[in-house]
């Protein structure tokens, strides 16, 4: 196996024996094979499109879901991945049939030539041929999967810089795919998003110039902005605009269900189905922002948030006592000694061997959570691990409603600087940096956050500036979009030409591939001087890093005091 897609990859280079995340070698290989087939689908779809044949949204959505299931901490289950691969072969077959059904003649001939011819390996890269037959591989014999997988993974691209740019693109696409899937579940789909997913994925099988590849990586940032905007539209249309909310972090006296991950549709279904059952609902990790939405706040049995961020789930799930529903990443390995193994459920693209999975019924959206509720009813109420509240709900609509207050505070000098500390949390010790920065930032600064990164400082009680809390949480990682909207609005209000002239610094924590999409979105919006940590991505080669440094002044996080001093000087 070889996987280097997340921040905690082994030795900062790549996992080769077993994932630091717990992913087994066979699982990693199957994920590679799934990606290979998704590339094949993309190649066929692009070819058909060139021939004037519409492949339809289903293909785009399938590719999005397939990419999403390979994201870090989502699918640890070989049986599930084999099913994904078999489905991908079926989709490929359908596309191939469409191709075969075209009337024979010069048009069809040139299309076939395009599909096969466009994507043949350059002569000097004979070892790379495996990547380029992705459209034409139809072996559905499962025993062959592992062997085939070993020829089509990340290392099949031998040139380090080409590999780096292709993977930067694919990993950004995984983040885009995750957000596109969330929006689709709520009925918002955009052809331009699926169109780009297919085009960009197919491009990774082509022999492109460095400039072309860099261009596509930048386009991924643009597509990430479009996708996060679509998800924002989907979320706010369905559930209203997030509003300032105090979220209880204590517990009630009834048994509960703890819902984690990012899928708000699952949240809605669960709240509806648990109403009047005597079972309370609590959020965990990235589901905390659900407490900010009017449509969810109206349920009195939504009790608040329990525990901390994803990597603390072993402890949090033990003491919670009740049923647990993982709607997306980040799920972490469940050990034999974990008492919660019989009361945890997965759904959507998440899967874990031996753990009950809840699939959508008929319409592909509705889910039956009665099994989760039944388990919860027989559980003890959660054990109290903390008391009090945390405040959040500062998505763009809410912050813009306070715009006058915010602008006055900047003009009067009461607020000197905003520091965006959004992104991911993780287990690595180096992430204490973000807590220290939050603690040591001058009192006249405001932290803007989104994603699970907030758990490093959201219970610190950092006070407020004239009634504006010093930590403004916009929501989930995808709500980084809100932070961009806020920054663009401030730029307009202050009459500035360049977003980088605002008193805003970016100090981002990353872990998995949604953060890659968010980072590319920020670069697309022209943000420069981003600090990134706790370490730089292993999939960025020294040459590609130079490009990012030259073009965008990206830098690694460093010493806390030195970074704060530099940020306060706008550096
Ligand atoms: Fe965190 Fe996990 Fe939301 Fe990620 S829970 S790390 S960037 O999946 O998506 O912020
Ligand atoms: Fe390693 Fe991260 Fe890949 Fe897991 S997801 S195998 S930890 S690089």
Better-predicted residue by pLDDT, 571 or 133: 571
- Tokens representing 549? 């440094």
pLDDT, one tens digit per residue, over 273-323 is 999 999 999 999 999 999 999 999 999 999 999 999 999 999 999 999 999
pLDDT, one tens digit per residue, over 142-185 is 999 999 999 999 999 999 999 999 999 999 999 999 999 999 99
pLDDT at residue 329 above 50? Answer: yes
Q: In angstroms, rounded to a whole number, what is the distance separating the alpha carbons of residues 522 and 530?
A: 9
- Taken as a whole, the chain contains a residue count of 571
**What domains does the chain contain, in order, with CATH numbers?**
10-237 (1.20.1270.20), 245-377 (3.40.50.2030), 396-568 (3.40.50.2030)
- Counting ligands in written order, which one lies closest to the CA of residue 72? 2
Residue from 108, 134, 106 nearest 119 by CA: 134
Span from the CA of 5 to the centroid of ligand 2 (angstroms): 6
Report the DSSP beta bridge partners of residue 468. 465
Full DSSP string of 134-167: TTT-----GGGHHHHHHHHSGGGS-SHHHHHHHH
Is there a contact between 251 and 384 (Cβ–Cβ < 8 Å)? yes
- Tokens representing 114? 């395009």
Percent of the chain at pLDDT > 90 equals 88
Q: Which atom of ligand 2 is nearest to the CA of 3?
A: 3
How confident is the model at residue 340, as a pLDDT?
98
Ligand 2 site, residue 4, Cβ cutoff 6 A: yes
Residue from 507, 418, 521, 426 nearest 478 by CA: 521
Q: In angstroms, rounded to a whole number, what is the distance separating the alpha carbons of residues 44 and 59?
A: 11
Cβ within 8 Å of residue 9, ≥6 positions away: 3, 15, 20, 538
Ligand 2 site, residue 476, Cβ cutoff 6 A: no
- Counting ligands in written order, which one lies closest to the CA of residue 4? 2
pLDDT at residue 256 above 70? Answer: yes
Backbone angle region of 187, left / alpha / beta, with phi > 0 → left and psi within -120 to 50 → alpha: left
Span from the CA of 54 to the centroid of ligand 2 (angstroms): 36
State the pLDDT confidence band at 123, using cuts at 50, 70 and 90.
Answer: very low
Query: H or E stretch including 294?
Result: helix 294-297
Percent of the chain at pLDDT > 70 equals 95
Q: Which atom of ligand 2 is nearest to the CA of 4?
A: 8
pLDDT at residue 129 above 90? Answer: no
Residue from 307, 279, 291 nearest 371 by CA: 279
Full DSSP string of 392-453: E---HHHHHHTHHHHHHHHHTTS--EEEE--B---S-GGGHHHHHHHHHS-TTEEEEE-SGG
Average pLDDT of span 194-216: 94
Q: In angstroms, rounded to a whole number, what is the distance separating the alpha carbons of residues 466 and 50?
A: 58
State the pLDDT confidence band at 116, using cuts at 50, 70 and 90.
Answer: low
State the pLDDT confidence band at 51, using cuts at 50, 70 and 90.
Answer: confident
Is there a contact between 476 and 330 (Cβ–Cβ < 8 Å)? no
State the pLDDT confidence band at 53, using cuts at 50, 70 and 90.
Answer: confident
pLDDT at residue 524 above 60? Answer: yes
Span from the CA of 34 to the centroid of ligand 2 (angstroms): 16
How confident is the model at residue 114, as a pLDDT?
62
Average pLDDT of span 22-39: 98
State the pLDDT confidence band at 125, using cuts at 50, 70 and 90.
Answer: very low
State the pLDDT confidence band at 214, using cuts at 50, 70 and 90.
Answer: very high
Phi, psi dihedral angles at 473 (to 5 degrees): -95, 115
Q: Which atom of ligand 1 is nearest to the CA of 426?
A: 6
Span from the CA of 93 to the centroid of ligand 1 (angstroms): 34
Q: In angstroms, rounded to a whole number, what is the distance separating the alpha carbons of residues 325 and 265?
A: 13
User: Which pTM does this prediction carry?
Assistant: 0.96
pLDDT, one tens digit per residue, over 489-512 is 999 999 999 999 999 999 999 999
Q: Which atom of ligand 1 is nearest to the CA of 451?
A: 10
Span from the CA of 8 to the centroid of ligand 2 (angstroms): 7
Span from the CA of 313 to the centroid of ligand 2 (angstroms): 18
State the pLDDT confidence band at 90, using cuts at 50, 70 and 90.
Answer: very high
Q: In angstroms, rounded to a whole number, what is the distance separating the alpha carbons of residues 38 and 548?
A: 28
Q: How do beta strands 504-509 and 464-465 pair?
A: unpaired
pLDDT at residue 128 above 70? Answer: no
Q: Which of 138-142, 238-242, 259-263, 438-442 has the lowest mean pLDDT?
A: 138-142
pLDDT at residue 3 above 90? Answer: yes
Average pLDDT, the chain: 94
pLDDT at residue 210 above 70? Answer: yes
pLDDT at residue 121 above 60? Answer: no
Q: Which atom of ligand 1 is nearest to the CA of 476?
A: 3
How confident is the model at residue 110, as a pLDDT?
66
């Amino acid at each position: 196996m070889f996987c280097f897609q997340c921040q905690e990859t082994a030795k900062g280079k790549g996992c080769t024996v077993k994932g630091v995340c717990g992913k087994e070698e066979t699982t990693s290989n199957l994920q590679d094979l799934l990606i290979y087939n998704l590339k094949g689908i993309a190649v066929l779809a692009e070819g058909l499109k060139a021939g004037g044949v519409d492949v339809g949204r289903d293909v785009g959505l399938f590719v999005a879901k397939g990419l999403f299931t390979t994201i870090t901490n989502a699918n640890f289950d070989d049986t599930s991945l084999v099913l994904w691969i078999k489905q991908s072969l079926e989709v490929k077959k359908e596309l191939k049939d469409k191709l075969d059904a075209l009337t024979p003649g010069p048009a069809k001939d040139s299309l076939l030539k395009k599909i096969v011819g466009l994507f043949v390996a350059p002569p000097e890269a004979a070892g790379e041929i495996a990547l380029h037959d992705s459209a034409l591989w139809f072996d559905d014999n499962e025993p062959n999967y592992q062997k085939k997988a070993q020829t089509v993974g990340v290392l099949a691209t031998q040139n380090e810089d080409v590999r780096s740019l292709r993977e930067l693109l694919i990993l950004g696409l995984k983040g885009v795919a995750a957000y596109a899937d969330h929006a689709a579940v709520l009925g918002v789909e955009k052809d331009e998003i699926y169109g780009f997913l297919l085009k960009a994925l197919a491009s990774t099988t082509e022999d492109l110039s460095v400039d072309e590849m860099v261009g596509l990586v930048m386009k991924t940032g643009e597509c990430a902005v479009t996708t996060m905007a679509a998800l924002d539209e989907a979320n706010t249309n369905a559930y209203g605009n997030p509003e300032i909310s105090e979220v209880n972090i204590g517990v009630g006296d009834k048994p509960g269900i703890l819902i984690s991950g990012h899928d708000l549709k699952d949240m809605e279904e669960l709240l509806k189905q648990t109403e009047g059952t005597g079972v309370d609902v609590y959020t965990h990790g990235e589901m905390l922002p659900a407490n900010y939405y009017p449509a969810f706040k109206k349920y009195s049995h939504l009790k608040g948030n329990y525990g901390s961020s994803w990597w603390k789930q072993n402890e949090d799930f033990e003491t919670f006592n009740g049923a647990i529903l993982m709607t997306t990443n980040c799920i972490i390995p469940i050990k034999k000694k974990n008492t919660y193994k019989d009361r945890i459920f997965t759904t959507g693209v998440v899967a874990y061997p031996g753990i009950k999975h809840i699939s959508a019924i008929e319409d592909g959206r509705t889910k039956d959570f009665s099994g989760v509720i039944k388990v919860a009813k027989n559980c003890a109420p959660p054990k109290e691990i903390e008391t009090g509240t945390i405040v959040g709900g500062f998505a763009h609509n809410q912050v813009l409603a306070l715009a006058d207050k915010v602008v006055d505070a900047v003009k009067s000098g009461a607020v000197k600087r905003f520091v965006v500390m959004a992104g991911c949390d993780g287990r690595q010790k180096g992430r204490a940096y973000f807590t220290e920065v939050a603690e040591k930032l001058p009192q006249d600064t405001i932290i803007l956050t989104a994603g699970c990164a907030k758990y490093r400082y959201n219970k610190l009680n950092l006070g407020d500036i004239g009634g504006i809390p010093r930590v403004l949480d916009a929501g989930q990682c995808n709500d980084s979009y809100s932070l961009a909207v806020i920054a663009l609005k401030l730029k307009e209000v202050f009459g500035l030409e360049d977003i980088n002239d605002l008193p805003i610094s970016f100090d981002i924590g990353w872990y998995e591939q949604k953060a890659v999409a968010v980072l590319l979105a920020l670069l697309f919006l022209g943000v420069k001087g981003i600090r990134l940590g706790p370490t730089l991505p292993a999939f960025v080669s020294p040459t590609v890093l130079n490009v990012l440094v030259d073009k965008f002044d990206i830098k690694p996080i460093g010493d806390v005091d030195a970074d704060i001093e530099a940020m306060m000087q706008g550096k």
